[in-house]
Structures are given as C-alpha cells and as structure tokens.
Amino acid sequence: MIIKTKVTAAGLHAAVLISAFQACKLPFAHSQGIVSTWPLYLTNSTLDPNATRSATNFAQYYGIASFGSPAQNFTLQIDTATNWLWVPSSQCPTEACITHRQYNANQSSTAVQFVDYEVEALYASSTDFADGYLVQDTFSVGSPPVIIQNQGFGSMTNVSVDQITQSEDGVMGLAPMQSIFDTSNLNVTQFDPFFSMVIEGLLDKPQFSLWLNPNITDVNAGEVVFGGVNAARHTAPLKQLAANSSALYWQTELQGITVAGKPLKGLQANAAFFDSGSAQTAVPVNDFKLINEAVAALGFNLTFDSDNDVYTIPCESAVSDNLPSIGFTMNGTTYSIPPSAWITSLGESSENDTEYGSICESSIVPTSYSIASLDSGHDGASYPIILGQM
C-alpha cells in the first residue's frame, strides 16, 4: 500500500533485499523462459532516467512501462503490498490526472474497453483512491520486454486529490494475486502483471526479485527482475521465508524484534509483510511503544510526540549518538536495520538536514489505519507489521 510521508533518503541506506518469491499454487510453464530486468528510479515524474533526484522525493520507486499499440509510456510506482495496476485515463478531469500522463484507449489498436466494468483501488491512507474502468490491452515491461497481450488494468477516471503529489502516473501492484476485482466472467487476465506473466508461461521461473540500491546517489535506484534473481545484486545464499498463502500480502512469520541485539518481550506482532510502497515500518501500537521506548531506555533522547503520534529525536543527536540497530527476526535470522535506515529526517529542505540540528523521527510508526479493512481474511489472530523500504 502507498503510505506517503515526508521522507528523505535515510530509510534507504540498508540494503534490505526482498528475495525471490515463489508464486505458489499456480500452473507454471516457462515456455518463453524470459528473465527480464526492469530498472527503477527514485525521482519525480519524468521519463528521463537521467533526471536529477530530489532529496525530498525519495519515498517511492518507479519504473517505466507501456500500454497499448503504439506504446503509451507511464511511470508506475512499484507496490508489493497491493495487486492493482492502474493509470490515469485521458477521460479523467481531476487535477491528479491532468498533472500526469493519461492513457487513451482510443489511440491503441489493441485496447478492449469494458465501460460497464467499474474498478476502484483503495490505499492505506483513507483519502487515497482511484476509480475508473477496466481495460484490457498489451502491457510491456522490462528488458528484454515481457509482453502481456491481454493485461487487465484500471483506466482511472477519478483519481483522488492526494495523488497530485505522487510523482508517478500510476501504480503497478506486485502483491500476491487475490481476487480484489472479480473478473471471472470476463476474458481478461488478472490485474497483477506478475501473475499474468506466470500464468501465461512467459517467465523462466515463477519468481520476481526486487533490489533497492543502498547508494542513493546512483541514478540506478534499483531493479525488479521478472523470472529470476540477478545474482550480482544479492548475497548468496538467499534465505527463504515461507509466504502465508492465506494473506493478501507477501507475509511471513515474525519471530521477534530486537533493539541493540536484545529481543523485546511482550510484542504483539507475529507476522510481517514487505511493502515497497511504504517508507516506514508500521507496527501495532503496543509494539510501537515497546520498540521506541527500548531505544530511549538505552539513554537516547527519543521522545514521544503525542501531537503527531511519532517518536522524535534531535537530528544532531541522531547523527552524533551511536543509536542502536533494530532487528527483525524471521525464520531464525535477525535482519538488522541500522539507525541510518530507521531514523528519518523530517525536513523538507536539503539532504543535509541532519547536520542542521532539526528534528528527526523514528520510522517505526503505529498502524494508525486498519489493516483489517484491507485484508478481509484478517481474523484478529494475526498482527502483521508492514516492513517498509528500510
């Protein structure tokens, strides 16, 4: 899901890799055997991969993909926590649409429009939405291109005002396929392009891998590989985390959380899912207090700001002090997140905010919105945390 924050690069220093996911329980044939690389960027809307990156706009990763014949290009945010694929429609009058590229089905010889078929994408922020109509068209992504002939997606005619500030045109969801839109009576492949690739036998392996470049000054902000793993981007051997097949997300068991290597007691969270669309890590309120208070108890000036429901620390001390790492234990391994990744500068201004003694905040935030509302399968027994881009 997309969680917008005032984010700087801080969260990106740690090279946390989401390893290749197995697409479970799907028919699989690698008839075309494609392994395709999709470069990612971190900047505001532009098709120029050389564009200068803005320090205040590091929150989201996007790639460039095209719809239709001839190709209409769009920047798509990659979101591992939803499975919606949508772009603004040329028929959308809202400001969020007209400030972005708009898909025109009439200019594509391969488009099939389902004008009676309304679709809606909802996000974690309750005011974020995109409404529109189902379209089927050719979708091309990556290099060498993976071409899906009849990909279903949303051509959105009303996109919420919140999306004006999103630099990307649309969203490409990569979450596990669960039927959010019931297209069973239509001859349209499901919304999630990754699963379309798997079902249509385009890929070499039923996997995708995501790499986020820890070097934020590099124009190559990361990549998605469809059909395999780029060994050069990962430290072998890859570790496996079993995905919960009943969850809507790439969710796995969370065995514990550590602060400075010490396991916390009394945690509520027992699962975690990976969200490339979030710059923060959202945890149950109980755990939000436990984690941040455990850091404060070590003598750091991390204090609760009740107005904003976050823990803050003067950036000066965040830089000079030796803040602890926070670890997330999954399948026996503790993945340690250094302070440079879980402390975020609040500043709008420069990349050097931390040097100006302004206020920094902890990226461990409370789940202030309802996960249950997004996950109809949620039975109250599981308390997943949302692991953001840290």
Ligand X SMILES: *[C@@H]1O[C@H](CO)[C@@H](O)[C@H](O)[C@H]1NC(C)=O
Catalytic annotation, residues: 79, 275
Instruction: For the CB of residue 133, give the shortest distance to ligand X in the complex, in Å.
Output: 9
In terms of CB distance, is 13 or 30 closer to ligand X? 13
**Residue 378 to residue 388: CA distance in whole angstroms:** 20
In this structure, are residues 83 and 152 in contact, taking their beta carbons and an 8 Å threshold? no
Within the chain, residue ranges assigned H as helices are 95-98, 193-199, 285-296, 315-320, 339-342, 371-374
Torsion, CA 74, CA 181, CA 254, CA 332, rounded to 10: -70
Instruction: For the CB of residue 207, give the shortest distance to ligand X in the complex, in Å.
Output: 15
Instruction: For the CB of residue 259, give the shortest distance to ligand X in the complex, in Å.
Output: 19
Q: Which position has the token pair 């026996």?
A: 332
In this structure, are residues 125 and 3 in contact, taking their beta carbons and an 8 Å threshold? yes
In terms of CB distance, is 241 or 364 closer to ligand X? 241
Instruction: For the CB of residue 325, give the shortest distance to ligand X in the complex, in Å.
Output: 20
Cα-to-chain-centroid distance, residue 106: 31
Question: What SS3 state is found at 343?
Answer: strand
What is the arrangement of strands in the sheet containing 384-387, beginning at the earlier edge strand? Answer: 251-253, 271-274, 384-387, 281-283, 364-366
**Residue 57 to residue 5: CA distance in whole angstroms:** 10
In terms of CB distance, is 149 or 368 closer to ligand X? 149
In terms of CB distance, is 312 or 325 closer to ligand X? 312
In terms of CB distance, is 41 or 288 closer to ligand X? 41
Burial tier of 116 (Cβ tally within 10 Å: 0-12, 13-18, 19+)? exposed
In terms of CB distance, is 276 or 362 closer to ligand X? 362
In terms of CB distance, is 144 or 377 closer to ligand X? 377
Instruction: For the CB of residue 271, give the shortest distance to ligand X in the complex, in Å.
Output: 5
In terms of CB distance, is 49 or 256 closer to ligand X? 49
Instruction: For the CB of residue 285, give the shortest distance to ligand X in the complex, in Å.
Output: 19
In this structure, are residues 88 and 103 in contact, taking their beta carbons and an 8 Å threshold? yes
- Give the count of beta carbons closer than 10 Å to the beta carbon of residue 238: 13
**Residue 267 to residue 265: CA distance in whole angstroms:** 6
Instruction: For the CB of residue 104, give the shortest distance to ligand X in the complex, in Å.
Output: 5
* Cis amide bond preceding 70, omega within 30: yes
Where do contacts with ligand X occur on this chain (CB under 6 A)? 44-45, 47-50, 54, 64, 66, 71, 73, 90-91, 93-94, 104-106, 149-150, 158, 167, 187, 215, 217-218, 240-242, 244, 246-247, 252-253, 271, 301, 303, 312, 314, 331, 350-352, 375, 377-379, 381-382
Instruction: For the CB of residue 36, give the shortest distance to ligand X in the complex, in Å.
Output: 13
**Residue 342 to residue 323: CA distance in whole angstroms:** 10
Half-sphere exposure of 278 (CA within 13 A, CB side): 24
Report, in this order, helix, strand and coil percent for the chain, each rounded to 5. Answer: 15, 35, 50
Integer CA distances (angstroms), 202 to 64, 140, 228, in order: 19, 12, 12
**Residue 100 to residue 166: CA distance in whole angstroms:** 9
Give me the count of residues in the chain.
390
